[in-house]
Structure 1
Amino acid sequence: MTSDTPRPAAWPAWAALLLATATLGVVLWACTTAWGAVVHGHPAYAIVLGVSALAALLLGWRAPRRIGHLSNGLQAQAHRFGVWGIVWRGLLIVLGAGWIAALAWLRPYTAIEPALAAMQSDSTVTVTETATSIELRPVTTNGDTGVFFQPGALVDAHAYAAVLRPLAEAGHTVVIAKQPLGIAFLALPAFDSAKASHPDISEWVVAGHSLGGTVAAIEAAEQSTADENPSVVGLLLYASYPANDISETLSVPVASISASLDGLATPQKIAASRKMLPADAIFTVIEGASHAQFGSYGSQRGDNEPLLSDANAREQISEASLSFVESLTDSLRK
């Protein structure tokens, strides 16, 4: 390469090295701050992190060699990108930055105590776990009514074990979905899987927290009118509301449990949801509670500080939930 021949531009290689470093940093951060949720949650996020790390290592290994070759003038054929070459490389960099942002955003809220203790089996409840669900099965059942639960967005499924365990202790099998990437809409088939795995349960209350409740409402509306003997007998919403008006299409009882200091599913949003639900829907407000207190996973972005202790909030939520499920069980027995 002569002295007047333009050297190949090195900025794409430097950008690739920066993206690789940032990707590895986000993967390391996600693993160190949410290890329990990454390892014990749905495998989708762990796979995405693993693939991203491998891609970043490969990119990071190639980038310094590319920079070295360019600085030594060993690749004269690459010295002209052209307009479209610059645009293409710029687009790849933007996509890479977007991927890194998505990895960070998808980091789950990890379960904390007392949810972890509630995951232990004892003489009253047997806890089993697969890659896609958690089951709390009572040793002694109380009828054929089970509860299927969809977690809130990005929340570790284990975080709901403590608030839902009293339902299992009262004799009702509880199945908690592990959602791919922590997104309830990606777990729509999970309810059908739960029904297939529990042929002994003929009636289900579908439930969910936040976005999980929105998806539970979709499942309830579809399943409650699916055939002459619908499997869904109730809808239980935790700090949630349906995406569309189901007041006429939903034919089963509904219970909405919300928090007065919820910064996400605010009291105003819950009040507005009344017209979207059947007229006989039951609304219970936990005074002084917040959005994140429906599970055990710490504070949540956008939420308010609660005035109620976690234990008190959890007890009231569990009691209201059990009262609703038991009322359905009693009604079905008549």
Structure 2
Amino acid sequence: MSYTVSHTNTLECALCPHHCRISSGKRGFCGVRENRNGELSLPFYGAISSGGIDPIEKKPIFHFLPGTMSFSIGFWGCNLRCPFCQNYNISQRVQENSAHTSPEETIKKARESGCHSISYTYSEPLVHFEYCMDCARLAREAGIANVIVTNGMLNPAPAEELFSVMDAANIDLKSYNPDYYRRELKGDLDAVKNAIIFAANRCHLELTTLLVPGKNDDPEEIEGLLDFITDVNKNIPLHLSRYFPNYKSNMPATTIESMDRITTRARQVLNYVYQGNTGSAADTVCPRCGTTLIQRSGYRVRILNRSGSICDSCGSELHYQIR
């Protein structure tokens, strides 16, 4: 489906909340969607900026096919402007005349690699909506799962369409302050919240929040974020990631004390909470009895629970999907 609205001398891209009005020969805020002779085009369709075979835990996805490898591809461009972006070299620029890879070739490579899934990741895959949709449909026909790692900045209609062909997603919930989203990230919190709700009802969902000192770690804001996740589903895994200076942001790294304080609070209301970038243990434990279900050391994974979605020790229902 084409998410385009025509205006006199411009095209409006209706894919994300920016609703860019693009003149002929120009591109939108994301840098990859272009008005070519009165038609909205994606000249970077299939332009892969980076690729690799990663443990699915690296996404991070902990509760979907744990211990498996994922064929990962990244693109160019982004519809946010996070000053601390870890992948700014591909998200905040585009490389003209990039080599293009067809969805069929991506599926072929994923199958040959023996990976259980394809991950659309690294930069922002949403702005390459058409390619992700085409690839995801072919992957499903080939019996390969689809995983998307995204900022969630998508309008409702394309969000419903996209997450309906995904098997798992990790969405960045970067803050629970709409002013912070708008002012510093150039994004829209309501759109991200709506995407989270869409995804939670259509595929396996995990969330990541990068804790940036003095920006999104205020106790009142953390409470709002946790309340929102709880209202959607308290079984959604939340990854609390430690910020380090990067790109345009040179503030000191998040302290371990702050990470531990927020993690402790999150675990009081959510069933599955993990720390990222701290070196702490990332085991999955039963929220009812505390038995270790999945043991992790770096990206090495041991599945200890033998009863699938039921805890061996107490019989309570669990919320992860193994092979």
The normalised TM-score by structure 1 is 0.36
Instruction: Please say which structure displays the higher CA radius of gyration.
Output: 1
Which structure shows the bigger proportion of residues in strand conformation?
2
Which structure shows the bigger proportion of residues in helix conformation?
1
